Amino acid sequence: QSVLTQPPSVSGAPGQRVTISCTGSSSNIGAGFDVHWYQQLPGTAPKLLIYGNINRPSGIPDRFSGSKSGTSASLAIAGLQAEDEATYYCQSFDNSLSANWVFGGGTKLTVL
């Protein structure tokens, strides 16, 4: 059971827009800690996609965008492409017990 809750899977056709939700609580996202997103292509290490809720590292296309509100956050992918098929993880910080970096369970994106 992950501290952050994500849907197990989402899907969309090429060119469409999809969103992935990430729900936390008052001890992590709701406490003001930022949400970050990672993309993990099959058989590879995770890669930072969005940091600080809305920021894209250099080289990440602007098709990827993030948002945060209350105890939840979302990742949006516009103009879906075949190479976007991957698992996406949200991550934040939780102060309920001790310093604790926490991840969502991951969402598998299928491009139809």
Kindly list the residues in this chain that would bind another protein in the complex (CB under 8 A): 2, 32-34, 36, 38, 44-48, 51-52, 57, 89, 91-93, 97-106
Residue with tokens 């956050």: 73
Closest CA to 110 of 89, 92, 85, 91: 85
Closest to another protein by CB, 102 vs 109, is 102
What backbone torsions phi and psi does residue 33 show, to the nearest 5 degrees?
Answer: -75, 140
Min. distance of Cβ 1 from another protein in angstroms?
Answer: 11
SS3 29: helix
Closest to another protein by CB, 15 vs 32, is 32
Strands 64-69 and 36-40, bridge-based pairing: unpaired
Min. distance of Cβ 78 from another protein in angstroms?
Answer: 22
Closest to another protein by CB, 44 vs 62, is 44
Min. distance of Cβ 105 from another protein in angstroms?
Answer: 5
Min. distance of Cβ 64 from another protein in angstroms?
Answer: 15
Is 112:11 a contact under the CB 8 Å cutoff? yes
